[in-house]
Amino acid sequence: MRPPRTSARRRAAAVVLLAGYALLIFGGSSAPAPPVITSLEVPDFVLHFLEYAVLGLLASRCVLHLRLDTGLVALVVVPALLCGLYGATDEVHQMFVPARDPSLRDVAADLAGGLAGALSYRVWLLRHLSRGEGATGSPGDGEPGVRPR
């Protein structure tokens, strides 16, 4: 399947959403954990998983809208690895933030979350294509009925 034809506005929106969310993660890591987060009875790695699942979904969506590729590697593996790398740099960053400490378990949760998010986006994409909708979810945009590699 060829990557969908998307407008410059949609491509820009995909990049801005991804960059904005990455900055949100960075900003959240720059301060000690707020009491709301520390009072939750949810393990930290679960929150990392969920946070990076969203990042993985946005990264996969960005790859699609930038028309880079539509294969499994491009839409799932590359975004997941980028999420793991971003998570690792975030943990290094936390070494310098008071009341924060880095954890390899968090990096693993970041990678797993990125993979889950990117895979979820690909599954969503396959469902929309099998219904005859375009790759971005709108009828007539992209190649209806063509499955990604």
Query: If you write DSSP's letter for every residue of the chain in order, what string do you get?
Result: -PPP---HHHHHHHHHHHHHHHHHHHHHHTSPPPHHHHHS-S-HHHHHHHHHHHHHHHHHHHHHHTTS--SHIIIIIHHHHHHHHHHHHHHHHHTTSTT----HHHHHHHHHHHHHHHHHHHHHHHHHHHTT--TTSSTTSS-TTPPP-
**Considering the entire predicted model, what is its pTM?**
0.82
Residue spans per domain, the chain: 8-130
Query: Residue 139 in contact with residue 133, Cβ under 8 Å?
Result: yes
- Report whether pLDDT(14) > 70: yes
- For residue range 92-125, what is the model confidence (pLDDT) as tens digits? 999 999 888 899 999 999 999 999 999 999 999 8
Q: Provide the pLDDT for residue 134.
A: 58
For residues 126-136, give the mean pLDDT: 72
Query: Residue 42 in contact with residue 90, Cβ under 8 Å?
Result: no
Most confidently predicted of 29-33, 40-44, 61-65:
61-65
- For residue range 47-56, what is the model confidence (pLDDT) as tens digits? 999 999 999 9
Q: Provide the pLDDT for residue 133.
A: 62
Q: Using 50, 70 and 90 to split pLDDT, how confident is the model at 143?
A: very low
**What is the overall mean pLDDT for the chain?**
84
Q: Provide the pLDDT for residue 146.
A: 37
**Token pair of 134 as six digits:** 């375009």
Q: Using 50, 70 and 90 to split pLDDT, how confident is the model at 144?
A: very low
To the nearest whole percent, how much of the chain has pLDDT over 70? 81
- For residue range 21-41, what is the model confidence (pLDDT) as tens digits? 999 999 999 988 766 676 778
